[in-house]
């Protein structure tokens, strides 16, 4: 018997990429699932395969996020895990050419969306505890050439930490993942398709490995599990070592010596 058999999770941005892989992984672990996505067709097709429920949800709309959480309560009577994952690339380009409207839309989706998800999930969890997991990014701990995205993901890290502190006494753990380059629709759209996105990531990663959506799903599954019972307010970077590589791995191949 799976110890998580009666547990219920809501996942946003579940129609493709990291969210869809996470839904498949949680389904294998026995979770009951409510999936939300702006483009609901993908989430509905997946929900049908998994025996889950999918709803159209723009996470930038608080009422839609509240309705997604309420659907979990109505259908299953509880909420144990909220995964605030929906995201967009948004306004790419020099800051001098970034329209305020575009910048603000990115913050609405990726900052307000995580705020709404955290707020309504925490209210739904009450005092029985739970887990809130946010998809940040390597751009949440470093800079990327997309100002709105970098700003939003840094804010996700801040909100993860502040809500983790507040919610800790209610046994609600809040953590974030910071993926590096994972080949999904999002990253492929930046390159000339999946192969180019993969090759570019491989060329940069210290570990000659490009993390997959399943690697991210595994990390979400771990953080949602009792094995992570002592972990809150943390940002887990999953990037084949990219964030720590301030020098190329080849630098370390030089002969050993002592420099006075």
Q: Which residues of the shown chain bind ligand NAD in the complex (CB under 6 A)?
A: 12-13, 15-19, 37-39, 42, 57-60, 85-88, 109, 135, 137, 179, 181-182, 184-187
Least distance CB 175 / ligand NAD (angstroms)? 15
Least distance CB 258 / ligand NAD (angstroms)? 40
Least distance CB 257 / ligand NAD (angstroms)? 38
In this structure, the chain runs to a length of 260
Edge-to-edge strand order for the sheet containing 32-37? 53-56, 32-37, 8-12, 81-84, 130-135, 172-179, 235-238
Catalytic residue from among 7, 112, 116, 149: 149
Q: Kindly tell me which of 69 and 251 has the beta carbon lying closer to ligand NAD.
A: 69
Least distance CB 78 / ligand NAD (angstroms)? 23
Q: Kindly tell me which of 80 and 239 has the beta carbon lying closer to ligand NAD.
A: 239
Rounded to whole angstroms, the Cα distance separating 74 from 1 reads 25
Rounded to whole angstroms, the Cα distance separating 153 from 155 reads 5
Q: Kindly tell me which of 31 and 149 has the beta carbon lying closer to ligand NAD.
A: 149
> Could you confirm whether 112 is annotated as catalytic?
no
As beta bridge partners, residue 238 has 179
Q: Kindly tell me which of 152 and 164 has the beta carbon lying closer to ligand NAD.
A: 152
Catalytic residue from among 116, 148, 153, 198: 153
Residue 89 tokens read as 């690339």
> Could you confirm whether 149 is annotated as catalytic?
yes
Nearest CA-CA partner of 81 in 228, 235, 237, 239: 228
Rounded to whole angstroms, the Cα distance separating 33 from 10 reads 6
Least distance CB 109 / ligand NAD (angstroms)? 4
Q: Kindly tell me which of 98 and 191 has the beta carbon lying closer to ligand NAD.
A: 191
Rounded to whole angstroms, the Cα distance separating 53 from 56 reads 10
Catalytic residue from among 112, 137, 148, 240: 137
As beta bridge partners, residue 172 has 130
> Could you confirm whether 119 is annotated as catalytic?
no
- Catalytic positions are 137, 149, 153
């Amino acid at each position: 018997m799976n110890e998580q058999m009666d547990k219920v999770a809501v996942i946003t941005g579940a129609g493709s990429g990291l969210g869809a892989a996470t839904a498949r992984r949680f389904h294998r672990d026995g979770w009951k699932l409510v999936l939300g996505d702006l483009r609901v067709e993908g989430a509905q097709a997946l929900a049908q395969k998994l025996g889950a429920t999918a709803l159209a949800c723009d996470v930038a709309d608080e009422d839609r996020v509240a309705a997604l959480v309420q659907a979990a309560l109505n259908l299953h009577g509880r909420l144990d895990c909220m995964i605030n994952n929906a995201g967009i690339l948004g306004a790419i380009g020099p800051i001098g050419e970034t329209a305020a409207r575009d910048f603000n839309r990115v913050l609405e989706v990726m900052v307000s969306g995580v705020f709404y998800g955290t707020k309504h999930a925490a209210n739904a969890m009450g005092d029985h505890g739970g887990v809130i997991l946010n998809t940040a990014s390597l751009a949440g701990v470093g800079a990327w050439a997309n100002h709105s995205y970098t700003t939003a993901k840094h804010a996700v890290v801040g909100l993860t930490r502040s809500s983790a502190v507040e919610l800790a006494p209610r046994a609600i753990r809040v953590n974030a993942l910071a993926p590096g380059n994972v080949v999904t629709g999002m990253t492929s759209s930046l390159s000339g398709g999946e192969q180019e996105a993969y090759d570019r990531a491989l060329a940069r990663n210290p570990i000659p490995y490009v993390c997959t959506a399943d690697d991210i799903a595994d990390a979400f599954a771990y953080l949602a599990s009792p094995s992570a019972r002592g972990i809150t307010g943390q940002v887990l970077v999953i990037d084949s070592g990219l964030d720590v590589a301030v020098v190329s791995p080849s630098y370390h191949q030089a002969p050993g010596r002592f420099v006075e």
